Amino acid sequence: MEKRIELERRARKANQITELNLDNCRSTSIVGLTDEYTALESLSLINVGLTTLKGFPKLPNLKKLELSDNRISNGLNYLTTSPKLQYLNLSGNKIKDLETLKPLEEFKHLAVLDLFNNEATQIENYREKIFEMLKSLKFLDGFDSNDVEAPSEDDDDEVNGNDGEDDGEEEDSCDEEDYASTSYVSTSDVSLSEVYNEDLEEDNSEWDEENAVEDDDEDTDEDDSDGDGDGEANASAKGTAGKEKSASNSAGAKAETASGEPAEEDEPQARGKKRKHDG
């Protein structure tokens, strides 16, 4: 238990600690816990194996004490050095009679007591007798004197007016979070829509460009084919014209020969022959 106490202190001074949890650290008696813990308000010693409360320190500010699941059968008088005690859990111990509980009359502020799973609870009219013995007691084993269940800690806060304010703040916080999340979703939708539209525009633009290129290629092919056709037509026309001209010249030559007049084109050739003969 002493080592566990040192670990729980975490290098803090004893008079600075307000809460101490020593659950499950096996010991039959309280060791290492001294009167130096003057600021301690909550102490938990669940399932430690205690058989006695001898050596329990003087804790003037202690309000909550957990001693459930031990083997305590008497010695509750050792707790009277903590006069401000309001909550005491002794469930799961070895208390057999109401006489053992007599020392608890000293606690003028004790409001909650739990004796569940003790033999004393089998005594006839046990609850009525305990409430009669402890005047300040409000709840015994989780119920008041009228068998109304004790409120939870959250319910206590609500009764004190604290929980309502917290709930209001939480609701406001939730509303703001919901609004923020809704805004975020809406913004995201718009952004996605814009991106989607941009992608469509880009795809359409690329598709238009591709079609334009294909149209240009087709136009070029058509122009080339038209050009080829025109060339062939022109060549054919020129050939025809040449043939017609040749035929015309031939006809003219024949006509001149028939009339006895040499053609002008043959005159130079004739003169040439004559000069060669004369020479």
pLDDT, position 175: 42
| Cα–Cα distance, 58 to 80 (Å, whole number) | 8
| Cα–Cα distance, 247 to 138 (Å, whole number) | 142
Q: Is residue 80 part of a domain?
A: yes
Torsion of CA 117, 119, 122, 125, to 10 degrees: -100
Is there a contact between 4 and 24 (Cβ–Cβ < 8 Å)?
no
Q: Is residue 93 part of a domain?
A: yes
Q: Is residue 86 part of a domain?
A: yes
pLDDT, position 231: 45
Residues 6+ apart with CB under 8 A from 106: 80, 83
b/e sequence 138-176, b meaning 16+ C-beta within 10 Å = ebbbeeeeeeeebeeeeeebeeeeebeeeeeeeeeeeee
pLDDT, position 77: 96
Q: Is residue 198 part of a domain?
A: no
Q: Is residue 81 part of a domain?
A: yes
Q: Is residue 165 part of a domain?
A: no
Q: Is residue 64 part of a domain?
A: yes
Q: Is 16 helix (H, G, I), strand (E, B) or coil?
A: helix
User: Phi and psi of 107, rounded to 5°?
Assistant: -85, 105
pLDDT, position 91: 97
- Integer distance in angstroms from the first to the last C-alpha of the chain? 157
Q: Is 89 helix (H, G, I), strand (E, B) or coil?
A: strand
**Residue 31: which CATH number?**
3.80.10.10
Three-state SS letters, 222-260: HHHHHHHHHHHHHHHHHHHHHHHHHHHHHHHHHHHHHCC
What total number of domains does the chain contain? 1
pLDDT, position 179: 38
Q: Is residue 255 part of a domain?
A: no
Residue type, 225: S
Q: Which residue range forms the structural domain that includes residue 51?
A: 1-140
pLDDT, position 82: 96
pLDDT by residue for the chain (279 residues), tens only, comes to 889 999 998 889 999 999 999 999 999 999 999 999 999 999 999 999 999 999 999 999 999 999 999 999 999 999 999 999 999 999 999 999 999 999 999 999 999 999 999 999 999 999 999 999 999 999 999 999 999 999 976 655 544 445 444 444 443 444 444 434 444 334 444 444 454 455 555 555 555 555 555 555 555 454 444 444 444 444 444 444 444 444 444 444 343 433 444 444 444 444 444 444 443
Torsion of CA 168, 170, 171, 177, to 10 degrees: 150
pLDDT, position 166: 45
Six-digit token string for 24: 């499950």
pLDDT, position 160: 45
User: Which residues are bridge partners to 139 per DSSP?
Assistant: 112
| Cα–Cα distance, 137 to 208 (Å, whole number) | 88
